[in-house]
Structure 1
Amino acid sequence: MIRSFADTSTAGAKGWLVLAVVAIAIGLSGVGVPAFSLDKSDIERSQEVPDKVFEIFGEIQRLQGNPPPGFVGGRPFQNRERRLARGRYREYDVNPTVPGQHRGPERLVIEQRTGKAYYTRDHYRTFVPIN
């Protein structure tokens, strides 16, 4: 199982978010902290990222951008609402396909040039960076 950071508990995720915000605020990009910007609304709506998201992300990386067997993914994500930075994104389901059932709202969106990945639990309304 591949994870972007060791502790994916709520406390660990919030700690990572606080560390990233502090590093960005004091200009320490390039010292192992992802270079992404967050505003107050991003922090307020941050949430725990389920372990399955990190597992699927690891599988997608291992499969060189292809979705794992039984999962839908790899289609271009247009970012029409401009909630993410400009880029070339692909979207993936984080739950396996079950015949006769709706796919659900959870997605993983990955920028193709940088590898920056985002989790959305509400079908692209909000995003949580995972790496």
Structure 2
Amino acid sequence: MRFPPRITRIGAAAAVLSALLVGGAVTAAPASAAVGSICYGALPSQAYDTLELIEAGGPYPYSQDGGVFQNREGVLPSQSTGYYHEYTVKTPGSSTRGARRIVTGQKSQEDYYTADHYVTFKLINYGC
């Protein structure tokens, strides 16, 4: 049985619980931030390739991969610069990077998928 590459990462709920238990700060997403969720098994096959590359630390097919994602759209929870990083999910038949990305968050180690170039995001649920 093949396990998702980041199955051992803690989820956002566990990070919040940890922060509360040790007295840390928890920042909530702005009310305008609408982030859905997607089961790991529902991702396109190319997303698995990208997640495996992230886990391995590269090499990445595009020079922009691994770069800081600024969250200019404000869809993801607000974090300090450098918290989020973006990676290309290849789009079959596209001569460019296409619109699909995985965006990772460092502290609570969450992974988001976007199929529409940052208009919407879905938190990847490794438990379903």
Q: TM-score, normalised by structure 2?
A: 0.57
| Residue equivalent to 1:56 | 50
Please provide the CA RMSD for this pair: 3.5
Aligned residues of 2:53 and 2:60 also touching (Cα < 8 A):
no
Structure-2 change in CA distance of 1:51 and 1:42 (3 Å): same
Shift of 1:4: 6.6
1:78 aligns with 2:70: yes
Structure 1 residues not aligned, in runs of 5+: 7-28, 31-35
Aligned residues of 2:114 and 2:121 also touching (Cα < 8 A):
yes
1:93 aligns with 2:88: yes
Deviations 1:88-127 (A, max 9, x none): 101110118x9x9221001110012222110100000011
Q: TM-score, normalised by structure 1?
A: 0.56
| Residue equivalent to 2:21 | none
Query: Matched residue pairs, number?
Result: 96
Structure 2 residues not aligned, in runs of 5+: 8-12, 15-27
Aligned residue runs from structure 1 range 5-24, under 5 A? none
Shift of 1:61: 1.5
Q: Which has the higher contact order (CA 8 A, sep 6+)?
A: 2
Runs of 4+ off more than 6 Å: none
Q: 1 or 2, which has the higher helix percentage?
A: 1
| Residue equivalent to 1:16 | none
Q: 1 or 2, which has the higher strand percentage?
A: 2
CA distance in 2 between counterparts of 1:62 and 1:2 reads 15
